[in-house]
Amino acid sequence: MTVGASNAWPDDDVILYDGVCVFCSRWVRFIAARDVNRRFRFTAVQSAYGTRLAQAFGIDPADPDTNAVVHGGIAYFKSDAALTVLSQLPGWQWARVLRIVPKPLRDAVYSLVARNRYRIFGKYEACFVPDAELRARVIE
């Protein structure tokens, strides 16, 4: 999905994630720790900003089935979102090569993990509270 003039999102390099998902929250911390240029910012789908972003992209905020990233004016979802983010991190540019795996296969694996993420990894009662450094990069 490309963010066009009619549905332009004003911010770039924003990662939308499920803030009560333990796996998703660890993903955010993983990215933040490696994003030495502090390029990416984060928003939980449960926040007011995250809910608006999710709705703009057709993601159900009450039952999100994907993370998303807006990068370079384009919104990426599922495996494309993960690979886009990874390939922007220092030392992780090699992740681009994973795009040779057919998208339907990548997204099937992504969806399998996404559907079972609470059962496998757990769920917080409320959005995880980041430390002060990460909190400065969170959009609420």
In the numeric block, the tokens 């999100």 are attached to: 64
Per-residue pLDDT band at 8 (split at 50, 70, 90): low
- Average pLDDT (59-73) is 90
pLDDT for position 132: 73
With CA atoms as reference, report the closest residue to 127 among 42, 12, 34. Answer: 42
pLDDT surpassing 90 at residue 14: yes
Q: What is the DSSP letter of 64?
A: -
Q: What six digits make up the tokens of 1? A: 């999905």
Q: Rounded to two decimals, what is the model's pTM?
A: 0.87
Residue linked to tokens 């983010």: 85
Neighbours of 47 (CB within 10 A): 19
pLDDT at 29: 92
Contact criterion met (CB below 8 Å) for 45 and 18 = yes
The alpha-carbon radius of gyration of the chain (Å, integer) is 14
Q: Round to whole Å and give the CA distance between 87 and 93.
A: 4
Could you give the 3-state DSSP secondary structure of residue 104?
helix
